[in-house]
Amino acid sequence: MKEGARVGYAARRLDRLEEAARAAGNEAFAVECDVCDEASIQAAVATAVAALGGLDALVYTPGIATFQPLAEIDADCWHRVLATNLIGPSLALRASIAHLEESRGKAVIVSSIVIDDRPPRAGNAPYVVSKTGLETLVQAWQGEHRAVGFTAIAMADTLTEFGQNEALAQLDRMQELVQDWVQDGYMYGRTMDPESVAEQIVSALKSRETVRRVAITPHYSADPNGVSEIWSE
């Protein structure tokens, strides 16, 4: 926004979007959208294209996680995670691709650094699997649509509302899981600010070339073995 771009925000809670659009200024606008519903995505993209006179970029950020062992994950849980994290981005690209091709624009899709962890973080499998598939999906879209530049941003733990409801519902288990992740060397002793990730998104959008993948993690804290402050309650 500071770069002068005109932006539309899309998500389910319109009141929060409208507040964000007001704060952003530069005629930013809000569009209600549920990425688990293809008609809703198509309507949101059509609204944005009409308001902007086209589309230079799509940034896909929605993602949800679960914090349960695989043996507890039922079909409904798999469907929910994959709908938001894997199918949603493909449907959003499907709705936008003709406009992005016309502008020879950019698509930035937010992934997660957890897919680089081996073995995957215990208790987080549907999320890890969905984001692993997501990065392959981004490459597949790039292969089929050369006029558009696709970027996957693999981000590490960042202080947002991400996973809070799921985590708060089972706080004891979360503390154990995070201790395990710390022992496995998967945490950094601190979390990042969302602005650090936003800078990478803007940088990929502004780049004259296609940035294929960005991986961003916190700079290690003085105590990299500490539990990240996000779960320290």
Ligand X SMILES: NC(=O)c1ccc[n+]([C@@H]2O[C@H](COP(=O)([O-])OP(=O)(O)OC[C@H]3O[C@@H](n4cnc5c(N)ncnc54)[C@H](OP(=O)(O)O)[C@@H]3O)[C@@H](O)[C@H]2O)c1
Read off φ and ψ for residue 61, nearest 5 degrees. Answer: -115, -20
* 228 is a site residue for ligand X (CB under 6 A): no
Residue of 74, 76, 144, 161 that binds ligand X (CB under 6 A): 161
Q: What part of residues 50-89 is at the interface with ligand X (CB under 6 A)?
A: 61-63, 84
Beta-carbon count within 10 A of 183 CB = 10
212 to each of 152, 157, 166, 199, how far by Cα in Å?
A: 6, 21, 31, 16
The CB-of-112 to ligand X minimum distance in angstroms stands at: 4
Cβ pair 200, 214 in contact under 8 A: yes
Total binding residues toward ligand X, as defined by CB under 6 A? 21
Q: What angle do CA 95, 98, 99 make, to 5 degrees?
A: 90
* 35 is a site residue for ligand X (CB under 6 A): yes
The CB-of-187 to ligand X minimum distance in angstroms stands at: 11
| DSSP per position, 117-140 | SSSPPTT-HHHHHHHHHHHHHHHH
* 200 is a site residue for ligand X (CB under 6 A): no
Site string for ligand X, 100-129 (x = CB under 6 A): ----------x-x-----------------
Binding site for ligand X (CB under 6 A): 11-13, 16, 33-36, 61-63, 84, 110, 112, 155-158, 160-162
